Structure 1
Amino acid sequence: MSSGGQNAVRQRHSQGKKPGQDGNGHSTTSSPNGGNHSTAAAQSTGSAGAGAGAPAGAEGAVAEAQPQSRWINWAIRGIFTWIMIFAFCGIVQLGHFALTVLVMIIQILSFKEIVAINYVPYKEKKLPWFRVLNWFFLFATNYYLYGGTLFKQYYEVVDASPILHSMARHHELISFSLYMLGFVSFVATLKKGHYKFQFGQFGFTHIILVLIVTQSNLVMLNIFEGLVWLILPASLVVCNDVMAYMFGFFFGRTRLTQLSPKKTWEGFIGALFSTYIFGFVLSYYLAQYDFFTCPFTGPCEQRPYFTLQNYTIPLDLVGLTPFTVAVYPVQLHSLSMSTFASIVAPFGGFFASGFKRAFKIKDFADLIPGHGGITDRFDCQFLMATFAYVYLSSFVHIHPQDPARILSSIAALDIATQVDLFNTLKQRLAAARAI
């Protein structure tokens, strides 16, 4: 048989193969560390190929290429990981506002990547205004969430501008009107024969808004409470992801979940302890600088959880002499965050992996070499940010009311009411001998 005939036969045979099998029907299921479970299949494939006139040693060349490919991918992933880390550190130096802008950019790019998955079916069905409505709903949601937060944080700027003051006072009405405009536009674009599909996409878009926009707004709230509450949770996720990859790459043997075949138990356990150590050390460093611990409003008095305190280790319970250690309370909080970052946050990645499998895609995009898209990198970060916000609200913050929010509410009152409030507050402070 000619070489062209052999190629044709091989092509037809490969088209009929089952998932997880090579052209000869042997299993090619990969182990978590990139190797094949069965070498016998590779040996039989090699003998069959030689009998059919295949070049001797071709399978050996492929086997040698696989480790090389793994190391190349490891190097590329490592290089761009460090590039992202250094870029993030540079943006941190620019302060709260720069990080807020970064969060908004990440949110928009993530939304773009996920929505793009459904763009082709819409284009094939020739449905109108699909992309416009998606982006409009994103704008309306961002205006409601981000706008409300920014109006309260920048209340001095808002009060100085009559236009911004009016927008802040009627923020909820404007937000509702924007959403209603999008809602009416969606109904107006419904096309006969495609109702079920369009309503499915309507729900799909709103789920994205809840999962991405709502959680990214919580990231911004954490930033305004102090850079430490962004840097610490985000760094814990990065550390856990990197160390899970490293331990899995060198020691991984036991697969953790079918949703993400490259995740291993060895990587999971190694990353867990690495994250505890990293979080404890990082929180110690961050607690010493006002730049990281003070909220957006400016210089502040050192809060109790950023002040060294003595803790007694009760070793007398086991017959040993107890001793005292001095640590920052935030270091103890870092242990709780490390636990979540190591055990629960990875499920954000598993969720994204299941989502990609449902749509039969490898990555959300190819923007970052070795990593995929923005969503591939920040799937766990959104979940971690939500936990950080809830944890801070429940166990860390000692002030039940946000002063910036109170001042923003006062600024929305008319001048006469503000004067009355001022006089009342002045009388109470005088009675308490505070002034």
Structure 2
Amino acid sequence: MVFDRLIHPFCICSFSLTVSRTKSESGVPEVPVPADDTPEVLNKALSGLSSRWKNWWVRGILTPAMISFFFIIIYLGPMVLMMIVLCIQIKCFHEIITIGYSVYHSYHLPWFRTLSWYFLLCVNYFFYGETVTDYFFTLVQREEPLRILSKYHRFISFALYLTGFCMFVLSLVKKHYRLQFYMFGWTHVTLLIVVTQSHLIIHNLFEGMIWFIVPISCVICNDIMAYMFGFFFGRTPLIKLSPKKTWEGFIGGFFATIVFGILLSYVMSGYRFFVCPVEFNNDSNSFTVDCKPSELFQLQDYGLPPVLQSITGWTIVKLYPFQIHSIALSAFASIMGPFGGFFASGFKRAFKIKDFANTIPGHGGIMDRFDCQYLMATFVNVYIASFIRGPNPSKVIQQLLALRPDQQLHIFNSLKAHLTEKGLLPLLEEAA
């Protein structure tokens, strides 16, 4: 058996490259297991309990603390939320890159960490520059340096990435080519998973804080309720990647999350602070969250199906249209969201680690808490683009201002003729 493994082509490559003495039986270098950083006070207070109940109490104590911190951040406003998302993104990137560095530390790969963080900087510069240009065009046009950076943003981003690419090629070392390209791919996949998804979270946030808070809260609710139902009623295993996940927890979490999403949406839809998009106000020279709520956040009458009428005795209920959309968000958080966690579990099993890090006692690393959130962020962004948002007026104006004067005049005359034909222009002139 040992002889067969040694002569296998993959193992020959692995053994020829490996100078580390620490390996697992499968040929994958082991990642050092982080020490238990549970506060000593909790360790002493829970010392008489089994590991199962100890983990229950640690999670039960720290979860409300994290939720309270989340509420405080929401109170501070969207710009603080954006900075928190950026910090979480950097921490998640650090946790994944550290795993790669820990696995292959003995190779002493030149510039691996430096290039990884450089590529993170380049990708963030590209994405955040695009976001600022799209959503805060008036601010960009007002400031000369920002206007120049916006005009040549993509070229600058490409030049920065090209510099990193050349640095990687120059850092290639004989006998380590395959491993260096492997780590190059590791870094880029990490960027794809972490940075791209956090960028989508920012886009969702600028559409209105409700598009940020409700999806994230649904994932948190599903995680908590699935754990609760699974802890007390779980008997049937759900998936081999996560042996502790059960069908009872999965189903209980689904229904609890649907109800939670509808109720939370009802409460938040009545406040402009949550439903209005983030905009830059030229008069006050600041970012504002104030608008006339769209029809999506105005109460409307909905007729109940005959079955529900016979049960409740109601024929009509008043709901915000967003509550209907919240059912789709809650369903995705309950059905597809956990697959982000399963993906992370498969990744951790591949490297024989329990958690990405030990940042949060009883919960693991930041990535352990946000593995489902990134998948959710993509769905929300696609959902908004497909069913909610129309063309972006700010972006249309940006493109118009970039045209030559004669082209702008042609578009103006065409738009004027169109509005006159529709009978809207005289009304606008009277209103003016």
TM more than 0.5: yes
Equivalences for residues 300-339 of structure 1 within 5 A: 300-315=291-306, 323-339=315-331
Aligned equivalents of 1:65, 1:90: Cα separation in 2: 32
Q: Is the 8 A contact 1:169 1:412 kept in 2?
A: no
Match for 1:215 among 176, 197, 201?
197
The alpha carbon displacement at 1:318 in A equals 10
Match for 2:76 among 90, 94, 111?
94
Aligned equivalents of 1:418, 1:296: Cα separation in 2: 31
Q: Is the 8 A contact 1:316 1:322 kept in 2?
A: no
Tell me the residue number matched to 2:397: 407
Q: Deviations over 1:113-137 (max 9, x none)?
A: 0000111354311221100110111
Q: Give structure 2 stretches of 5+ with no counterpart.
A: 1-24, 26-45, 280-288
* Residues 218 and 354 of structure 1, relative CA distance in 2, 3 Å threshold: same
More displaced, 165-174 or 300-309? Answer: 300-309
Q: Does 1:350 align with 2:342?
A: yes
Equivalences for residues 221-300 of structure 1 within 5 A: 221-297=203-279, 298-300=289-291
More displaced, 213-222 or 250-259? Answer: 250-259
Aligned equivalents of 2:419, 2:310: Cα separation in 1: 55
Equivalences for residues 5-404 of structure 1 within 5 A: 67-297=49-279, 298-315=289-306, 323-397=315-389, 400-404=390-394
Q: Deviations over 1:155-196 (max 9, x none)?
A: 232222211110000111011111111111111111111111
Q: TM-score, normalised by structure 2?
A: 0.80
Aligned equivalents of 1:125, 1:177: Cα separation in 2: 30
What amino acid is the match of 1:389?
Answer: N
Secondary structure at 1:295 match in 2: coil
Q: Is the 8 A contact 2:254 2:334 kept in 1?
A: yes
The alpha carbon displacement at 1:151 in A equals 2.4
Q: Deviations over 1:203-235 (max 9, x none)?
A: 111111111111111100000000000000000
The alpha carbon displacement at 1:429 in A equals 8.3
Q: Give structure 1 stretches of 5+ with no counterpart.
A: 1-17, 19-63
Aligned equivalents of 1:369, 1:317: Cα separation in 2: 45
Aligned equivalents of 1:421, 1:72: Cα separation in 2: 72
Pairwise CA RMSD of aligned residues?
Answer: 2.5
Q: Kindly tell me the number of residue pairs found equivalent between the two proteins.
A: 371
More displaced, 285-294 or 329-338? Answer: 329-338
The alpha carbon displacement at 1:428 in A equals 5.0
Tell me the residue number matched to 2:11: none
Aligned equivalents of 2:173, 2:73: Cα separation in 1: 46
* Residues 157 and 71 of structure 1, relative CA distance in 2, 3 Å threshold: same
Aligned equivalents of 1:121, 1:370: Cα separation in 2: 24
Q: Deviations over 1:216-256 (max 9, x none)?
A: 11100000000000000000000000011111111222211
Q: Is the 8 A contact 2:215 2:333 kept in 1?
A: yes
Percent identity (aligned): 49
Q: TM-score, normalised by structure 1?
A: 0.80
Secondary structure at 1:133 match in 2: helix
* Residues 113 and 333 of structure 1, relative CA distance in 2, 3 Å threshold: same
